[in-house]
Amino acid sequence: MVLAAMLALLLPAGAALAAKPIVLGCPLSTAFLYGWDAERAINLAVEEINAAGGVKVGGEMRPLKVEVIDTRDLEPGVPVSEALMGVEKLILEKHANFIVGGPVRSEAALAAMALLSKHKMVSILTTGALTPKYHAMVGKKPEKFKYLFRISGEAKWMVLGELVPCLSDIGKQFKLDKLFIMVQDVSHARTGGKILKKVMSKKGWKVLADPVVYPTGTTDFSMGLLEAKKKGAQVIIIWMDMPESAILLKQWYDMKVPALPFGTIIAAAEQPGFWKATDGKGEYCLANVVNAGNAPSNATPWTMKFVKAYQKKYGMEPEGYGTSSSYMAVYVLKDAIERAGTINSDKVAAALKKTDLMGVYGRIRFDPKTNQIIPSLDPKEGAVGTVFQWQAGKRVVVFPPKIATGKILLPPWMKQGK
Amino acid sequence: MDILIYGVINSATLALMALGFTLVYGVSRLPNFAHGALYVLAGYICWLLLNRLGLPYILAIALALALVAVVGGAMYQLILVRIRGMSISEIIASYAIGLAILEGLRWGGLKGGTFTLPSFLDGSVDIAGVSVDFQRILVVVLGALLVGLLYFFVNHTRLGLALKGMAQDERAALTLGIDSDRMAVASMALGSLSAAVAALILLPLGSIVVEAGYHVLIMAVAVCIVGGLGSWTGAILAAFVIGFAQILTTAYLGAHFQVVVAILAIILTLILRPSGLFGKQKELEERV
Residue B261 domain flag: no
Residue A1 domain flag: no
Q: Tell me the mean pLDDT in the region A370-393.
A: 93
Check whether residue A284 and residue A308 sit in a common domain. Answer: no
Buried b (16+ CB within 10 A) or exposed e, B23-36: bbbbbbbbbbbbbb
Contact A70, A35 (CB under 8 A): yes
User: Is B113–A246 a contact, with Cβ atoms under 8 angstroms apart?
Assistant: yes
- The tally of domains found in chain A comes to 2
User: Is A212–B255 a contact, with Cβ atoms under 8 angstroms apart?
Assistant: yes
**pLDDT tier for residue A264 given thresholds of 50, 70 and 90:** confident
Positions of E strands within A49-174: 55-57, 60-62, 64-70, 98-101, 123-125, 148-150
Alpha helix ranges (H) inside B108-210: 134-156, 158-168, 170-175, 180-202
CA-CA distances (angstroms) from residue A126 to A27, A163, A272, A329, A333? Answer: 11, 20, 20, 7, 12
Q: Which amino acid is at B182?
A: R
Closest CA of chain A from B162, distance in Å: 38
Residue B227 domain flag: no
Question: What is the rounded distance in angstroms from the CA atom of residue A309 to the CA atom of residue A332?
Answer: 18
Residue A281 domain flag: yes
Question: What is the rounded distance in angstroms from the CA atom of residue B11 to the CA atom of residue B260?
Answer: 16
Residue B240 domain flag: no
Question: What is the rounded distance in angstroms from the CA atom of residue A6 to the CA atom of residue A13?
Answer: 12
Alpha helix ranges (H) inside A93-163: 106-118, 133-140, 155-157
Alpha helix ranges (H) inside A203-288: 222-230, 245-254, 267-270, 274-277
User: Which chain A residues are closer than 8 Å to B114 by Cβ?
Assistant: 271, 273-274, 276-277
Nearest CB to B254; choose among A213, A251, A274: A213
Q: Compute the mean pLDDT over every residue in chain A, rounded to the nearest whole number.
A: 88
* pLDDT, position B175: 83
Tell me the three state secondary structure of residue A384.
Answer: coil
Question: What is the rounded distance in angstroms from the CA atom of residue A77 to the CA atom of residue A29?
Answer: 13
**pLDDT tier for residue A1 given thresholds of 50, 70 and 90:** very low
**pLDDT tier for residue B285 given thresholds of 50, 70 and 90:** low
Listed residue (B63, B49, B16) closest to B35, CA to CA: B16
Question: What is the rounded distance in angstroms from the CA atom of residue A293 to the CA atom of residue A310?
Answer: 10
Q: Give the CA radius of gyration of chain B.
A: 19
**pLDDT tier for residue B212 given thresholds of 50, 70 and 90:** confident
* pLDDT, position A17: 55
* pLDDT, position A5: 53
Q: Tell me the mean pLDDT in the region A325-336.
A: 96
Does the interface predicted TM-score (ipTM) exceed 0.90? no
Q: Decide which of B128 and A71 is more confident.
A: A71
Closest CA of chain A from B125, distance in Å: 8
- pLDDT above 70 for A95: yes
Closest CA of chain A from B89, distance in Å: 25
The model carries a pTM of 0.77
Closest CA of chain A from B21, distance in Å: 20
Listed residue (B195, B199, B217) closest to B44, CA to CA: B199
User: Is A32–B112 a contact, with Cβ atoms under 8 angstroms apart?
Assistant: yes
CA-CA distances (angstroms) from residue B191 to A34, B183, B185? Answer: 36, 12, 10
Residue B79 domain flag: yes
Q: Tell me the mean pLDDT in the region A220-243.
A: 88
Question: What is the rounded distance in angstroms from the CA atom of residue A343 to the CA atom of residue B199?
Answer: 52
Nearest CB to A268; choose among B113, B122, B205: B113
Contact B247, B10 (CB under 8 A): yes
Domain coverage including residue B86? 2-108+127-208
User: Which chain B residues are closer than 8 Å to A274 by Cβ?
Assistant: 113-114
Check whether residue A102 and residue A173 sit in a common domain. Answer: no
| DSSP state, residue A216 | T
User: Residues for chain A: how many in total?
Assistant: 418
Listed residue (B42, B32, B79) closest to B63, CA to CA: B42
Tell me the three state secondary structure of residue B24.
Answer: helix
Buried b (16+ CB within 10 A) or exposed e, B170-188: eeebeeeebeeeebbbbbb
Q: Give the CA radius of gyration of chain A.
A: 22
Report the residue of B5, B13, B114 to disrupt the A interface, i.e. the one with the largest count of A CBs within 10 Å. Answer: B114
Nearest CB to A255; choose among B9, B116, B131: B131
Percent with pLDDT over 70 in chain B: 96
Check whether residue A281 and residue A333 sit in a common domain. Answer: no
Domain coverage including residue A230? 156-289+386-403
Question: What is the rounded distance in angstroms from the CA atom of residue A387 to the CA atom of residue A398?
Answer: 6
First to last CA, chain B: 40
The shares of helix, strand and coil residues in chain B, as percent rounded to the nearest 5, are: 75, 5, 20
| Pairing state between β A362-364 and A357-359 | antiparallel
Check whether residue A80 and residue A136 sit in a common domain. Answer: yes
**Interface of chain B against chain A, CB under 8 Å?**
2, 6, 9-10, 13, 106, 111-116, 118-119, 122-124, 130-136, 205-207, 209-212, 215, 247, 250-251, 254-256, 258-259
Q: Report the Cα B136 to chain-centroid distance in Å.
A: 17
Check whether residue A179 and residue A277 sit in a common domain. Answer: yes
Q: Which amino acid is at B243?
A: G
User: Which chain B residues are closer than 8 Å to A268 by Cβ?
Assistant: 112-113, 207
- pLDDT above 90 for A82: no
Residue B142 domain flag: yes
User: Which chain B residues are closer than 8 Å to A390 by Cβ?
Assistant: none
Residue A359 domain flag: yes
Check whether residue A249 and residue A124 sit in a common domain. Answer: no
Residue B55 makes CB contacts below 8 A (sequence gap 6+) with B49, B63
User: Is B256–A214 a contact, with Cβ atoms under 8 angstroms apart?
Assistant: yes
The enclosing domain of A266 has a CATH number of: 3.40.50.2300
Contact A79, A105 (CB under 8 A): no
User: Which chain B residues are closer than 8 Å to A245 by Cβ?
Assistant: 113
Check whether residue A258 and residue A145 sit in a common domain. Answer: no
Residue A6 domain flag: no
Check whether residue A143 and residue A164 sit in a common domain. Answer: no
Residue A332 domain flag: yes
Question: What is the rounded distance in angstroms from the CA atom of residue A101 to the CA atom of residue A108?
Answer: 12
Check whether residue A108 and residue A128 sit in a common domain. Answer: yes
User: Is A250–B205 a contact, with Cβ atoms under 8 angstroms apart?
Assistant: yes
Closest CA of chain B from A318, distance in Å: 14
**Interface of chain A against chain B, CB under 8 Å?**
31-33, 36, 75-76, 185, 212-215, 217-220, 222-224, 226, 229, 243-247, 250-251, 254-257, 267-268, 271, 273-274, 276-279
- The tally of domains found in chain B comes to 1
Question: What is the rounded distance in angstroms from the CA atom of residue B261 to the CA atom of residue B272?
Answer: 16
Check whether residue A279 and residue A324 sit in a common domain. Answer: no
Residue B94 domain flag: yes
User: Which chain A residues are closer than 8 Å to B215 by Cβ?
Assistant: 217, 219
Burial of B3 (0-12, 13-18, 19+ CB in 10 A): middle
- pLDDT above 60 for A11: no
Check whether residue A167 and residue A222 sit in a common domain. Answer: yes
Check whether residue A104 and residue A182 sit in a common domain. Answer: no
Report the residue of A70, A212, A220 to disrupt the B interface, i.e. the one with the largest count of B CBs within 10 Å. Answer: A220
